[in-house]
Amino acid sequence: MALPKTMIFSTPLEQLSVPGHMPVSRPVDLNGCPWHDVKSMLRDVGLRPTRQRMSLGWLLFAKGDRHITAEMLYEEASKAKVPVSLATVYNTLHQFTEVGLLRQVAVDGSKTYFDTNASDHHHFFVEGENELVDIPGADVIVDKMPTAPEGYEIARIDVVVRLRKTGR
C-alpha cells in the first residue's frame, strides 16, 4: 500500500501488515490513526475489517478531521494504488455513516460530503470552492425547535451556512 506523500510522520516505526502483502514498517501519523486502530475502530462498531474497508478507513482517518466526497476518496485510493471501484467507495462511506464513524452532510441535491468528525457541529460551505469548514457547535444556536410529528423524534439538526467571496 502506498503512503500519501503529504503526510507528517513521527517516530517510532510501527509494523504494518496488509492482507496479501508482505509486512512493512511505516511511521505513525501524528494527526491520524495507525493501521491497527482502524481495525479496532471497525470491529468496535460491528464491521468486519475487510481489506477494502481497512484501506479506505486508513485513507479517511489517517489525516485527521476532514470533509470528503466519494469522488475525492476514490481519487485518493487510486493514487495510493488501492484497488476499489467508485461503487465500493460509496458503499463503504454509507456503511461507515450508518455505524456512526462518519457524518453525511448534504450541501445540495447533487453534492454530499462525509465528515470524519462525527460530533455535533455545523458547517460553512464556501460556494465556488466547494469546500466545507466546521463551525464549532456552540457558535450556532437554534432558538426554537419544531415539534416532531407523532411517532418521530428529531435525530439531528444540520446547519449549513453558505459563504461567497465579497467584491473587496
The CA-CA-CA angle for residues 9, 51, 54, to 5°, reads: 40
Q: What is the CA radius of gyration of the chain?
A: 18
The answer to whether residues 130 and 108 touch, using CB atoms and an 8 Å cutoff, is: no
| Mean pLDDT value of segment 2-27 | 33
Distance CA 164, CA 108 (A): 15
Q: In what order do the strands lie in the sheet with 67-68?
A: 67-68, 111-115, 103-108
Peptide bond into 49 cis (omega under 30): no
Indicate the Cα dihedral angle 63, 66, 70, 71, nearest 10°.
-80
Instruction: Identify whether residues 95 and 153 lie together within a single domain.
Output: no
Beta bridge partners of 16: 24
pLDDT band at 87 (very low <50, low <70, confident <90, very high): very high
| CATH code assigned at 98 | 1.10.10.10
Q: pLDDT tens digits for 140-155?
A: 777 788 888 999 998 8
In a domain, 123, yes or no: yes
Instruction: Identify whether residues 51 and 131 lie together within a single domain.
Output: no
Q: pLDDT tens digits for 107-128?
A: 877 789 999 988 888 888 888 8
Q: Which domain holds residue 26?
A: 9-107
